[in-house]
Structure formats: C-alpha cells, structure tokens
Structure 1
C-alpha cells in the first residue's frame, strides 16, 4: 500500500486585512482568476493553472491557531515566465506599478518586480544566459 501523500495543490496563504484589494490586483494586473472567495478567504490561480495563491483575513474563523498578519517583509513570490519583456509590458498596460524595472542580471535572469496590496514582493523572472564565469565563484 502506497502511503505517500497525494497533493492536489500547494500554495501560500498571505494573511492580510486587504483580501479584496489583493484579489482585484491579481485579477486586474496579472489576469489571474478567482477559484474560491468567501468573506474571509480568496484563492486565485494563474491563467494557465501553473500557480496559485490565497489571501486570508486576520480575523478568519479558523483562528487560533493561524498565522500572524503578513508584514510585507521576508517573502518573495517568484513568477517564472517565458518572456519577461512581454510580461512587463502586459503588467504595465494593465496599470501595474513596477518597483524594480526590467533588468538583465549577470547571474542569468531578466526580471522586474512589484508589491501587491498586502506588501508581498513579486519577482517576475525569465531565465537567460548568465554572464560568462559568473557562477564559478559560487559553485562548490
């Protein structure tokens, strides 16, 4: 008998009093769709279904126990894309405000970043060829 867990999904839950603003932001700025919404919880999914994210009110009925309200620090939500330039153009066209401009990094990423209404830092990255020899000093 196989006793390994069979996961159906995996996603972070960001605890914030601004769940409606977060929902609107992710739907309007990134084109994500809402899979479930209640008065205290919202679950969102990327257009292609490859990623999901949830937001929960600090006064959720499952408290306690439960996580503390997110401070906006110490977490980066990484969105890897095929074309960062196109993702950047789409985000800006949808009214998004960029906190880190589109940049080609020596370590091999083209990226830009922004914060959502909860304070979550979102890093949108495309893998590109790193600068020759960049990783040599870090490899063991």
Structure 2
C-alpha cells in the first residue's frame, strides 16, 4: 500500500467556524472547499471537516459528539503559543503546565468540540517513565 495522505474527517455542522479556527490559529491552508466538505493542509499535516448532511455515498459517520478524540499539535514554544492564544481571548480551559511525563502543554476545544492539546516536549521528571516502560 502506498499511502498518499492520512487525516481525520470530523463531521460537524460548524464547517466555516472550524475552517477559520484552524487557518487563523494553526496556519493551515484550504486545500479544497465545498458546501459540505473542507480539507485543510500544511507541511504534511491534513485535517478535514464534513457536514452531517453530506451527499456522498455510502452514508458517513454521525456528527462528532465531543468525546473520545484529541488532536495534538506539537510546537517549538508552548509558552509563546499560550501567550498568543490568551492575548487573543481564545477559550483556553487547560492552562499552561509542565507535566511530569515530559510535556509543557495547554488545551482548548475547537468549534466542533474537538479537544486540542498544544504541547512542547520537555525532559520528564527523573524516573517518571520507569514504571510504564515495557
């Protein structure tokens, strides 16, 4: 199998809000846009949104319920991104924190209700991973 791309398709009626959110705050670009499907991309990253009343067949999944999914964006400087999001008034609900397992991160929900985790890799606390390694 030759995989050309791999991306989630989030089913939501908030297509335009999601497009604007990811274009404005993550720098994604619109690769394709129709009235019921939007595909975003940037440097090897792709993300798509589909309206629940789409005309494609076979029928697709139901609308995203807001549970069981997380999109993680690994960045170079979580401090700078946190400051940018806070100063812009975005609804950050998990505030910047250094985690003992080796991430500096913060989070918020996108317009479709998807949890967005913005992380920077840092050194974990000494020995933290020892009990979890296989």
Q: Which residue of 2 aligns with 1:117?
A: 111
Deviations 1:76-119 (A, max 9, x none): 01111121112222333444221211110000001111100100
Q: Is 1:44 the equivalent of 2:36?
A: no
Work out whether residues 109 and 128 of structure 1, in 8 Å CA contact, stay in contact via their aligned partners in 2. Answer: yes
1:8 Cα offset (Å) = 1.6
2:3 matched residue in structure 1: 7
In the alignment, the residues of structure 1 paired with residue 82 and residue 89 of structure 2 have an alpha-carbon distance, to the nearest angstrom, of: 11
Partner SS state of residue 131, structure 2? helix
**Considering only aligned residues, what root-mean-square deviation do their CA atoms show, in Å?**
1.4
1:64 equivalent in alignment to 2:58: yes
CA distance in 2, matches of 1:30, 1:91: 11
Separation (CA, whole Å) in 2 of partners of 1:84 and 1:44: 22
TM-score of the superposition, structure 2-length normalised? 0.92
Q: Secondary structure at the match of 2:84?
A: helix
Aligned residue number for residue 17 of structure 1: 13
- C-alpha spacing 1:65/1:36, structure 2 compared with 1 (3 Å): same
What is the aligned counterpart of 1:29 among 6, 9, 25?
A: 25
2:81 aligned partner: 87
Instruction: State the TM-score, normalized to the length of structure 1.
Output: 0.88
SS at match of 1:134: coil
Number of aligned residue pairs: 134
